[in-house]
């Protein structure tokens, strides 16, 4: 009997099993529930009583409140991403160009909040906003939500930007100066294009999660800000309608895939990514 030979390919078997059990199978269940309805009046989750239907999607798009939640979700996500980039890029650029021996320590201080529990950070921000009087006003619910999202996701933009900027070839910057470009021209025509993979990585790490961060909108928005993630949570935990909740999850998944496809197109032509400058 021929002995079995161990191969490095076998190391991927646990990962494949994990992906099949905890990624592929749940996704298939979401698709099943999204495109079906139960024939029985009482919810039993009996697959044999399911029938194919598009009614979950029709019902979702037929309600103006749901469409408004999508607009609010992506509006908050885009605004949060832009603010994070405007704050993070100068910080990452200064740290990357700095000759301080302690710049790694400074970088660690910026990304330290990533090591703290997400809910604890949000609760701490709530207490701070309450102390300065902003949380008491319902008119500032949207502002408080944006502040909370920027605070929670700012480290996720600093790290990929710093990773790319620290790898920039200084000879290219010197060549730009030798060819007559001033510092402003070098920044916009050389540095920003070369750091585009880091920008795309930062956008992906902030834009996509913030569309579903209903914990922040619920906690800091005082219940006045409803995003698509909250709609999904309500369907599963409050209304116990797995079919409607799965349909909304499918819609969000499609929107996220479309966003990833668009951002990926922007980074496909970057030479820096080919050299491994980006994080993905």
**Digit-coded pLDDT (tens) for 87-105:** 999 999 998 888 777 788 8
What's the average model confidence in pLDDT over 200-220? 89
What pLDDT was estimated at residue 82? 95
What's this model's pTM, rounded to 2 decimal places? Answer: 0.82
Go through 132-167 and write b for each residue having 16 or more CB atoms within 10 A of its CB, e for each that does not.
eebbeeeebbbebbbbbbbbbbbbbbbbbbbbbbbb
Asked if the model's pLDDT at residue 266 lies above 70, the reply is no
Task: Return the percentage of the chain with pLDDT > 90, whole number.
Answer: 39
What pLDDT was estimated at residue 262? 78
Alpha-carbon distance of 38 to 243, in angstroms, equals 8
What pLDDT was estimated at residue 177? 83
What pLDDT was estimated at residue 271? 45
What's the average model confidence in pLDDT over 158-166? 91
What's the average model confidence in pLDDT over 214-240? 88
What pLDDT was estimated at residue 276? 41
DSSP 8-state code for residue 130? H
CA-CA-CA-CA torsion sign (111, 117, 122, 125): negative
What's the average model confidence in pLDDT over 162-179? 86
Alpha-carbon distance of 135 to 111, in angstroms, equals 26
Alpha-carbon distance of 135 to 87, in angstroms, equals 23
What pLDDT was estimated at residue 223? 81
Residue 173: band (very low, low, confident or very high) from pLDDT cuts 50, 70, 90: confident
- Enumerate the domain spans of the chain: 16-53, 72-227
DSSP 8-state code for residue 131? H
Spacing of C-alpha 48 from chain mean position: 37
Alpha-carbon distance of 51 to 35, in angstroms, equals 8
Output phi, psi for 72, to 5 deg. -65, -40
User: If you average pLDDT over every residue of the chain, what do you get?
Assistant: 85
Nearest-CA neighbor of 73 among 259, 265, 279, 266? 259
Task: Return the percentage of the chain with pLDDT > 70, whole number.
Answer: 89
Asked if the model's pLDDT at residue 178 lies above 90, the reply is no
What pLDDT was estimated at residue 245? 92
Higher pLDDT, 254 or 45: 254
What's the average model confidence in pLDDT over 272-276? 41
Asked if the model's pLDDT at residue 21 lies above 90, the reply is yes
Asked if the model's pLDDT at residue 238 lies above 70, the reply is yes
Asked if the model's pLDDT at residue 279 lies above 50, the reply is no
Asked if the model's pLDDT at residue 32 lies above 90, the reply is yes
Q: What does the pLDDT look like over 38-63, one tens digit per residue? A: 765 555 566 667 888 999 999 999 99
72 CB neighbour count, 10 Å cutoff: 20
Hey, which CATH number is domain 72-227, 1.20.1440.230, 1.25.40.10, 3.20.20.10, 1.10.3720.10?
1.10.3720.10
What's the average model confidence in pLDDT over 107-116? 84
What pLDDT was estimated at residue 27? 92
Q: Where are the alpha helices (DSSP H) in the chain?
A: 13-19, 25-34, 55-61, 64-97, 103-111, 118-131, 141-153, 155-165, 170-178, 183-186, 192-194, 196-210, 214-220, 228-237, 242-267, 271-274
- Asked whether the beta carbons of 155 and 113 are under 8 A apart, the reply is yes
């Amino acid at each position: 009997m021929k002995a079995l030979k161990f191969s490095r390919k076998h190391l991927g078997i646990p990962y494949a099993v994990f992906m099949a059990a905890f990624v592929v199978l749940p996704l298939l269940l979401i698709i099943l529930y999204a495109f079906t309805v139960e024939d029985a009046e009482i919810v039993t989750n009996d697959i044999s009583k399911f029938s194919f239907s598009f009614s979950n999607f029709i019902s979702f798009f037929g309600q103006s409140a749901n469409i408004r939640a999508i607009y609010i979700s992506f509006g908050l996500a885009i605004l949060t991403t832009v603010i994070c980039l405007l704050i993070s890029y100068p910080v990452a650029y200064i740290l990357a160009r700095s000759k301080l021996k302690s710049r790694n320590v400074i970088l660690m201080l910026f990304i330290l909040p990533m090591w703290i529990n997400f809910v604890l950070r949000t609760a701490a921000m709530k207490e701070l906003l309450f102390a300065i009087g902003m949380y008491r006003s319902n008119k500032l619910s949207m502002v408080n939500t944006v502040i909370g999202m920027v605070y929670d996701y700012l480290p996720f933009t600093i790290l990929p930007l710093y990773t790319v900027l620290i790898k920039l070839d200084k000879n290219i910057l010197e060549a730009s100066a030798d060819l007559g470009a001033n510092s402003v021209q070098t920044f916009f025509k050389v540095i920003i294009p070369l750091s585009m993979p880091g920008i795309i990585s930062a956008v992906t790490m902030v834009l996509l999660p913030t569309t579903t961060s209903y914990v922040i909108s619920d906690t800091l928005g005082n219940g006045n800000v409803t995003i698509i993630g909250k709609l999904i949570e309500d369907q599963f935990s409050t209304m116990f309608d797995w079919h409607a909740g799965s349909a909304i999850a499918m819609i969000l998944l499609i929107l996220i895939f479309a966003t990833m496809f668009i951002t990926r197109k922007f980074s496909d032509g970057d030479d820096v990514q080919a050299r491994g400058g980006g994080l993905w």
